[in-house]
Amino acid sequence: MQQDWKGINRYATVGIEFALSLLVGLFGGRWLQGKLGTGNWLTFVGFGFGIAAGYRAIYRAVQAANREAEREEAAEQAERQRYHDESSRALTDRNRSASGTPGADEPADNGGERDPKRLN
């Protein structure tokens, strides 16, 4: 449950960061415009920087989410592979014990007789 809240908080902060970037850019441009008396163009420039900073925050969040998803997918795939290997090994061992044939790591017990197929 704690992990779910961390994920929600991470993406909620992206929205807040985007909004704050826009506002800081807008009001920073307006402040510079008032100090320098340049007209409205510094307001637009500041707002443009705010938009760029906001989209940068979104891009970074998407990249982090992709890395996390790839990491989770790799862990899940490794777990599936491990489960598949264990289940197939158990099935093979069960089939060997049911049929009475030795496995690859078990020597054949033929009562001390020589195997006619082997030359040595």
Each residue's pLDDT tens digit, 89-118 = 776 767 676 665 555 555 555 555 555 555
Q: HEC string of the chain?
A: CHHHHHHHHHHHHHHHHHHHHHHHHHHHHHHHHHHHCCCCHHHHHHHHHHHHHHHHHHHHHHHHHHHHHHHHHHHHHHHHHHHHHHHHHHHHHHHHHHHCCCCCCCCCCCCCCCCCCCCC
- Is the pLDDT reported for residue 75 higher than 70? yes
The larger pLDDT score, comparing residue 29 to residue 4, is at 29
- Is the pLDDT reported for residue 3 higher than 70? no
- Is the pLDDT reported for residue 76 higher than 60? yes
Tell me what pLDDT residue 18 has.
Answer: 92
Tell me what pLDDT residue 118 has.
Answer: 54
Please give the share of the chain, as a percent, with pLDDT higher than 70.
Answer: 69
